[in-house]
Structure 1
Amino acid sequence: MTPDSIVFGGAGLIGRSLVAELLRRDRTVAAALRGPADRLTGWLAGQGVDTARLTVVSADIAVPGLGLGAAPDLGEVRDVYNSAARFAFGLEAAQARAVNVTGAVNVADWAAARGSLRRLVHVSGYRVSGGPADYRRDGAYEASKREGDAAVRARARELGVPLTVVNPSTVVGEDQFIGLASLVRDLWRGRLPLLPGDRETFLPVVDVGYLARFMAEVPGHEETAGEAYWVLDDATPNLPELVGLLAAHLGVRAPRAAVPVSLVRRLPRALTGADPETLSFLSGDRYETAPALAFAERAGLRMPPVGTVLRTWADGLVATGFGERARFGEKAGFQDVAGSRTWVTGERESPQYVLLHGLPLDADSWARVAGELDGPVLAADLPGLGRSAPARSAEEPEELEEWTRDLLEPVGTRPVLVGHSFGCGPVLRHALAHPERVSGVVLLAPAFLQAPSGWLTRSAVGAAVLLGTSPARLAGRLGVPVDALADLRRPGAARRVIEAMRAGHAAGQELRKALDRIGVPVTVVTGSADPLVTGEADVVIEGAGHYPQLTHPRQVARVLREAVARAPRGRW
């Protein structure tokens, strides 16, 4: 099948979204990229996009001829999209120019040789106006985009190429970890005491899905030839309000004061933490968006609400630890649960399994187990732990009981409740109070049945974190992956872990009595290296320690599946 469109930079944030949009419109698409094809095809598969009309070709736009080599027949390509760019801060000028200037001109030359060319759509940047490129003032990335914009326009005029330039602002979407994302990361981790800029600072965003739809529409409209469109959401709040919106969503404190960009430039980077190249984006400038909005209106395009876009993007950033860990669950984000801004993953209304983590972990500690299960899963970060904001008093049993009840209020099925270590407490209390809504309970490494010395050891580990032990060293001591401890860097996280450990130890007698009184089937699971001192385990996983869900996920999943098989079916 001969492609009618080609997307250079097809595996990038913009490029892959554009490829997906074109395929959904039944276009035949060639995606040109450097590196392995599964960078794109794996992502498309995760989005449920049919790739039968896709051809992936290897390309390097920095060389004449674009390095296409033995690419399949591209003679019928009529729409050429260039979304390839070297996007990073701290680049050398030569590195940035090779792709953003020379590469962009090479794409224009290649497009000019297409006999069936309908349009070349070039992705530029929203800061390209305002004079010639200044590599010293603006940094290599922005300066090269400005130079490349002018060079592509000039070459298109020289060769008679029908060109449309799209100038997007900060593009937000899955896996966008550069630029504004670094500010959100600092906000999340309590490292943003002051906000650079002032009340008029405007850092506009645009949703990547909307941008892809806009670009896909452009070649089919003759009036877009020769035009340049600034594509951004004018409704983006000014930076202080934008940060306030995200802070409220994430359950963290927003900076209370701002510092002028001119002052930030003069202060040492070691003090401010600000990359000098990002500061040129912090201004009160506004942009001519009327032509883009008019075209979008004619094409029937509507921007999604900017607040929704920002909150969804922030959820994605937190879900992946800002690119430091794999995402667990498609339905993941913050929800209000009993007054706690809670991180919830999975099926909220019809789960077959409900999984509550132990210390010092979060809901992602169940990821490998969930991948082995045969039914929908609901997991959440306990209040004040992982990514969840604290409840009024998360270490008090009644507060945690209220939180569990509110978390499970929408559930209409009778799931098996699974708790690990500290998480066994809320599981037991809920099953005892609401046996009609639970089909079974699995207690994994229940700390309240173990020796107190185990708790003291783990409390000492928590204290070490509080005193500055790195997550890497702590992970080695616990025998868990370092990404399982990513959120211990949040302000107050280590203190809350210690408080929870002490609360769990104090509740031991109460929980042992609850275990004797519970009216639903219970399975107690422990590792051979993490024995119980009170009672006997129903299942012992050979070679496992205190975290078998991390070290022996298949064995744990088998136990959970067997618990479901024994449990009564139906809804409560």
Structure 2
Amino acid sequence: MDAIVFGATGFIGRSLVAELLTRGQRVAAAVRNDTLTPWLASQGVGLRGLEIVTADITRPLAELPDVRDVYNAAARFAFGLSERDARAVNVTGALNVVEWAATLPRLRRLVHISGYRVSAADGHPDYAGLGAYEASKLEADLAVRARAEALSVPLTVANPSTVIGPGQYIGLATLVEDLWNGRLPALPGGSDTFLPVTTIDYLVRFLAEIPGSPAGEHYWVLDDDTPLLPDLIGTMAAHMGVRAPRRTVPAGLLRRLPRRLTGADPETLSFLSADRYPTASADAFAARTGLETPPVTEALRTWADDLVAARFGSAAPWQSPYGFHTVAGAPTWVTGDRHRPSHVLLHGLPMNGDLWRPVAAHLPGPVLAPDLPGLGRSAPSPSTTDVWLADLMGPVQTRPVLVAHSLACGAALRFAVRHPDRLGGLVLVSPAFLQAPAPRLARSAAAAPMLRRMPPPRLARTLGVPDGPEVRSAAADLRRPGVARRVAAALRGDAAARREWRALLDRVAVPVRIVVGSADPLTGPVGIPVDEIAGAGHYPQLTHPAQVARLLRTAAAATGA
């Protein structure tokens, strides 16, 4: 084999294996349990050249492939570890890799992945003061260098900073999660706190180049252009459409306050520093090998999209591309194809664009499924919903079928009346203005706090739908500041608006169909084709997705869209 990667199922390790395989190398992936192969397949990485080997670096290593390059990406990266657990992998395991590498007859290089805060390592680290994770990384950095020198092992140490990218949900990600959910009233640290980042793609390309370079050099891999922490958080907040904290709390004060008051993990506080790091050798290496650091601001925004799409590690994105786009002056969460969709799908309340996940799985062409302004993951727009929808449709180059659910049907109708040349057809699913009003409780002042506190199983029962990922996604958004209040306000409705929307049906110049569930019928005849789904209620997308998709395909075929 060309290389072996220890810790191959970790965040860095799996991406490194993917990079090496993509370069045509033969790679042994040392794992305890093979979760790597399905991940590689999901990323479209060919498995030719991959060998999975079982290994546990906490024990002496034996009977592994004879390799040329050895990467140790194995580590316990978590806060709250005991000293014993942290040292078992981060120190003892790292030394086991060094000793095993010393036995390899073809060894070209051992690349040990350390941490960027080790630059101040001196003697035995303070486990009580630093916490087990950081202290074990400091101890390992010193021990690996000393053991490699004693055994004449050609060693390069890579010291990456906070690594960002899809799948990274710890460290800085927890701070962003608190920001997203409105739980960050003040920013830990000071105005000069420097928490540098590097992207996972750049890091693994950097690591892949190391074995071919001269030995003896060590590299701090981080982006010196990373904004200071208040500006970093401000950049991500602006992109996501949430409010950034204006105040900071010094790390020294946070250490003295009880954790139950601050919510700050003491082990994270040592990272809140104004320190800078010796990056000259890494920058020179990158220049020699033709590596370019991606623009850090764009990388942070892309990572914010990844975090929100994956619900900070609790869910899987249902479609790509995804992310925040400025629509009518506000960050709007958009899933799908913004330019050539066959269907544009507008959700009703109290859901978000994920409502259409089950239906989209049965549709043949690309879809565009945004979260409406101020709802789901989208920020409120300073413009009207009509202006927002027109701006959303601006980049669309096709004549899609516009599909709207429940209260979104009004905006869809108005767009269809004003822009018939932009659409192939209009489908109204459970149009609220043609059905009985929402229950009085849903329209009362108690609706907002009730929705905000409602767990997914109860929300599913209330809506009469399965407790699936779509309901869990909606419930998560309802807990964010302002979302439940805006949903409750929309549910109160407007009798005049209902009459206006009913009148618009007679003015639509594009083909229109209505889809309803038999348990949630229209209140009267409308003179427009109505498809009734037996056994469905107000949310047929969730209870009968295949039937809804079939009706949408029929509507598209009838219009030639």
* Both proteins in one fold, TM over 0.5: yes
Letter paired with 1:4: D
Letter paired with 2:254: V
The Cα of 1:187 is off from its aligned counterpart by 1.0
Aligned residue number for residue 179 of structure 1: 171
Aligned residue number for residue 130 of structure 2: 138
The Cα of 1:30 is off from its aligned counterpart by 1.7
Letter paired with 2:533: I
2:436 counterpart (416, 429, 451): 451
Q: Is the 8 A contact 2:8 2:74 kept in 1?
A: yes
C-alpha distance in structure 2 between counterparts of 1:198 and 1:29, whole Å: 44
Aligned residue number for residue 407 of structure 2: 422
The Cα of 1:552 is off from its aligned counterpart by 2.3
C-alpha distance in structure 1 between counterparts of 2:90 and 2:454, whole Å: 42
Q: 1:452-492 CA deviation, whole Å, 9 max, x = no partner?
A: 2x353533573343674445533442244323321112111
C-alpha distance in structure 2 between counterparts of 1:467 and 1:357, whole Å: 19
Relative to structure 1, is the Cα distance of residues 61 and 506 closer, same or farther in structure 2, using a 3 angstrom cutoff?
farther
Q: What fraction of aligned residue pairs are identical, expressed as a percent?
A: 61
C-alpha distance in structure 2 between counterparts of 1:371 and 1:254, whole Å: 36
Q: Is the 8 A contact 2:416 2:508 kept in 1?
A: yes
Letter paired with 2:28: A
Q: How does 1:41-80 map to 2 (within 5 A)?
A: 41-65=37-61, 74-75=65-66, 77-80=67-70
C-alpha distance in structure 1 between counterparts of 2:348 and 2:490, whole Å: 10
**RMSD (Å), alpha carbons:** 1.8
Q: Is the 8 A contact 2:403 2:429 kept in 1?
A: yes
Q: 1:21-58 CA deviation, whole Å, 9 max, x = no partner?
A: 111211111222232x3x32333233332222222233
- Provide the secondary structure at the position in 1 that maps to 2:303: helix
Aligned residue number for residue 27 of structure 1: 25
- Provide the secondary structure at the position in 1 that maps to 2:492: helix
- Indicate yes or no: 2:186 matched with 1:189: no
Letter paired with 2:391: D
Relative to structure 1, is the Cα distance of residues 467 and 567 closer, same or farther in structure 2, using a 3 angstrom cutoff?
closer
C-alpha distance in structure 2 between counterparts of 1:19 and 1:467, whole Å: 42
2:4 counterpart (6, 13, 31): 6
Aligned residue number for residue 379 of structure 2: 389
The Cα of 1:529 is off from its aligned counterpart by 2.5
The Cα of 1:234 is off from its aligned counterpart by 0.4
Relative to structure 1, is the Cα distance of residues 470 and 547 closer, same or farther in structure 2, using a 3 angstrom cutoff?
same
- Provide the secondary structure at the position in 2 that maps to 1:65: coil
2:142 counterpart (147, 150, 165): 150
Q: After superposing the two structures, state which structure 1 stretch, 548-557 or 117-126, moved more.
A: 548-557
Aligned residue number for residue 559 of structure 1: 551
Aligned residue number for residue 16 of structure 1: 14
Which stretches in structure 1 are left out of the alignment for 5+ residues?
394-398
Relative to structure 1, is the Cα distance of residues 403 and 249 closer, same or farther in structure 2, using a 3 angstrom cutoff?
same
2:36 counterpart (10, 35, 40): 40
The Cα of 1:561 is off from its aligned counterpart by 1.7
Q: How does 1:46-445 map to 2 (within 5 A)?
A: 46-65=42-61, 74-75=65-66, 77-130=67-120, 131=122, 132-221=124-213, 223=214, 225-392=215-382, 399-445=384-430
Letter paired with 2:143: A
Q: How does 1:498-509 map to 2 (within 5 A)?
A: 498-503=488-493, 507-509=497-499
C-alpha distance in structure 2 between counterparts of 1:361 and 1:467, whole Å: 13
C-alpha distance in structure 2 between counterparts of 1:213 and 1:349, whole Å: 32
Q: 1:135-166 CA deviation, whole Å, 9 max, x = no partner?
A: 10111111111111122212212221111110
The Cα of 1:127 is off from its aligned counterpart by 0.9
- Provide the secondary structure at the position in 2 that maps to 1:129: helix
C-alpha distance in structure 1 between counterparts of 2:545 and 2:136, whole Å: 48
C-alpha distance in structure 1 between counterparts of 2:244 and 2:185, whole Å: 8
- Provide the secondary structure at the position in 2 that maps to 1:322: helix
Relative to structure 1, is the Cα distance of residues 505 and 88 closer, same or farther in structure 2, using a 3 angstrom cutoff?
farther
TM-score, length basis structure 1? 0.92
The Cα of 1:508 is off from its aligned counterpart by 1.5
Number of matched pairs: 551
C-alpha distance in structure 2 between counterparts of 1:366 and 1:51, whole Å: 33
Relative to structure 1, is the Cα distance of residues 505 and 301 closer, same or farther in structure 2, using a 3 angstrom cutoff?
farther
Aligned residue number for residue 497 of structure 1: 487
C-alpha distance in structure 2 between counterparts of 1:466 and 1:266, whole Å: 37
Which stretches in structure 2 are left out of the alignment for 5+ residues?
none
The Cα of 1:414 is off from its aligned counterpart by 0.6
C-alpha distance in structure 2 between counterparts of 1:202 and 1:467, whole Å: 35
- Provide the secondary structure at the position in 2 that maps to 1:6: strand
C-alpha distance in structure 1 between counterparts of 2:557 and 2:37, whole Å: 36
Relative to structure 1, is the Cα distance of residues 51 and 490 closer, same or farther in structure 2, using a 3 angstrom cutoff?
same
Superposition misfits of 4+ residues, deviation over 6 angstroms: none
TM-score, length basis structure 2? 0.94
